Amino acid sequence: MKLPSPVSGELVRPDSVHRAAYISAELFELERRRLFAATWSFVAHASQLPEAGDFVTLDLAGQPLIVLRQPDGNIAVLFNRCAHKGTQLLTSASGNTGRMLRCPYHAWTYRLDGKPLGVPFKADYEGTRLPQCEAGQGVARVGAVEVYRDFVFVRIAGQGPSLRDYFGDALQWVDNMVDRSPTGRLEVAGGVIRNTIRCNWKIYLENVNDTVHPVSTHESAGKAARSVWDEQPAGAPPPMAVEQLLPFASSYEFFARMDAEVYANGHSALGVSFSSHSGYGLPPGYEESLVQAHGQERAQQILGSAPQNVVLYPSLCIKSSPLAVRVIRPLAVDRTLVEAWSFRAVGAPDALLQQALSYNRLVFSPMSIVAHDDIHLFESIQRALHADGNDWVSLHRGFSADELRGGSMHCKGTNELLMRNQFRAWAAHVGSPE
């Protein structure tokens, strides 16, 4: 395959995408620098870092990072690399590093904001260029950190849009999730389920908005759930797990009517009219507590909208109900880490957390019978796109030339506009010279 130029028209047409976008290691390198480093990615939730010195580490598209609570209460994000020889300063996934960072290799020490504190054999550095060189500046920090309602985002690059300009109207769906707490606060709870999948990250992320696949992809899971449940004694309300599995047997019509919105920069909300999450029962007293906290109008607005999936492109997928979030981490051109996070709405009954945990277990666990069929097909796509003979992946469903104006738009739930919108954002970044 001859690699097309990353300039937009050669990789991303208005209605289709060149297969190189999924299989070219060269393009993967470009998108790491031009997309993931240039845009805002979710890295942590503030509830993971209650005390000064608390940290989490992660790999963000090949960049090892430390997210670290500062003594002044702010959150800093540093590259996890000692300024001296490159050792990872922290190797645990989370913990507390105390009042400073200390490299285990040669004991170089740093303040929690990354500034240099001390090195052994200080006298031997006198008269050297260390203070002027990169190594003398301490641990490097990412370009920008912003916290939106306790969701911590970074932009690796020094220059770029602000978080609010980048996410725009899509942030209303973070509010929709956070305001499910009567106190307006979420906490990460119950552990994070992690999956590695042998496919390009975009195949996974597109599928988050793919409403035409469940009928055929999830037929076996939906039918098995329906037939086993139908054999149970009649009249009993379905348990939470069955309530969460049965919608996978929904019709094309159901998904078409749920409607969607797209926003500038690749973001989207699927299921803005209703979704498979709309019908979940509420725990006793919960609605009243939301009305008391937020007022009747806002409470109805929150409970009346539970999108199927909201994408904060390119790293985050939100289900405001059931308080479940997926984090997409590209590992290689053909390998992706998908994390399923569950949240507790502070002040709300634990039944809501249990909904999140149950959903993530049933649908996003390595043993999920729903995910099994998705993963099988994603990995199949990853192999098959190496086939010569057709360089293009079709995203024609519902295309209209009007949509090329961009910005916020409304469409049917089954329109592939949600994927085209992702690729327009992708092409704008990957096609821009650094």
Partner 1 sequence: MTAHVWETALVQFVLDEAKALNEGRYEDWLALFAHDGCYWVPLNGERQADPVNHASIAYEDTVLLAIRVRRIGNPRAHSMAPGVSSLHVVQQPRVDAPDAQDGEYRVTTPFVYVELKGERQLLLAGTWRHRLRAQNDSLRIVQKRVDLLNASAPHEAIHLFP
What does the binding site for partner 1 look like in residue numbers (CB under 8 A)? 189-198, 216-217, 219-221, 223-225, 227-229, 232, 239, 241-242, 245, 337, 340, 342, 350, 353-354, 357, 360-362, 365-367, 369, 371-373, 375-377
Q: How far is the CB of 260 from partner 1 (least distance, A)?
A: 26
Residue 420 near residue 399 (C-beta atoms within 8 A)? yes
Q: How far is the CB of 287 from partner 1 (least distance, A)?
A: 22
Burial of 401 (0-12, 13-18, 19+ CB in 10 A): exposed
State the virtual CA torsion across 236, 239, 245, 249 in degrees, nearest 10: 10
Q: How far is the CB of 58 from partner 1 (least distance, A)?
A: 12
Q: Which is nearer to partner 1, 76 or 193 (CB)?
A: 193
- Please state, in angstroms and rounded to a whole number, the distance separating the CA atoms of residues 358 and 354: 6
Q: How far is the CB of 256 from partner 1 (least distance, A)?
A: 22
Q: Which is nearer to partner 1, 152 or 362 (CB)?
A: 362
Q: How far is the CB of 79 from partner 1 (least distance, A)?
A: 22
Q: Which is nearer to partner 1, 195 or 250 (CB)?
A: 195
The Cα-based distances of 257 to 89, 173, 251, 274, 408 in angstroms read 51, 20, 10, 8, 19
Q: How far is the CB of 337 from partner 1 (least distance, A)?
A: 6
Q: How far is the CB of 384 from partner 1 (least distance, A)?
A: 14
Closest CA to 184 of 337, 350, 298: 298
**Residue 412: how many CA atoms within 13 Å on its side-chain side?**
15
Closest CA to 394 of 379, 427, 416: 416
Q: Which is nearer to partner 1, 41 or 342 (CB)?
A: 342
Q: Which is nearer to partner 1, 363 or 417 (CB)?
A: 363
- Please state, in angstroms and rounded to a whole number, the distance separating the CA atoms of residues 209 and 191: 25
DSSP notation for 101-112 = EE-TTT--EE-T
DSSP notation for 184-232 = S-EEE-S--EEEEESS-HHHHHHHTT--SSHHHHTHHHHHHHHHHHHTS
- Please state, in angstroms and rounded to a whole number, the distance separating the CA atoms of residues 255 and 397: 14
Q: How far is the CB of 241 from partner 1 (least distance, A)?
A: 6
Q: Which is nearer to partner 1, 291 or 331 (CB)?
A: 331
**Residue 276: how many CA atoms within 13 Å on its side-chain side?**
25
Measured in residues, the chain has a length of 434
Q: Which is nearer to partner 1, 170 or 197 (CB)?
A: 197
If one counts every other C-beta atom within 10 angstroms of the C-beta of residue 270, the result is: 26
Q: How far is the CB of 257 from partner 1 (least distance, A)?
A: 25
Q: How far is the CB of 375 from partner 1 (least distance, A)?
A: 5
Q: Which is nearer to partner 1, 111 or 226 (CB)?
A: 226
Q: Which is nearer to partner 1, 174 or 240 (CB)?
A: 240
Q: Tell me the backbone φ, ψ of residue 318, rounded to 5 degrees.
A: -115, 135
- Please state, in angstroms and rounded to a whole number, the distance separating the CA atoms of residues 374 and 431: 30
Q: Which is nearer to partner 1, 317 or 340 (CB)?
A: 340
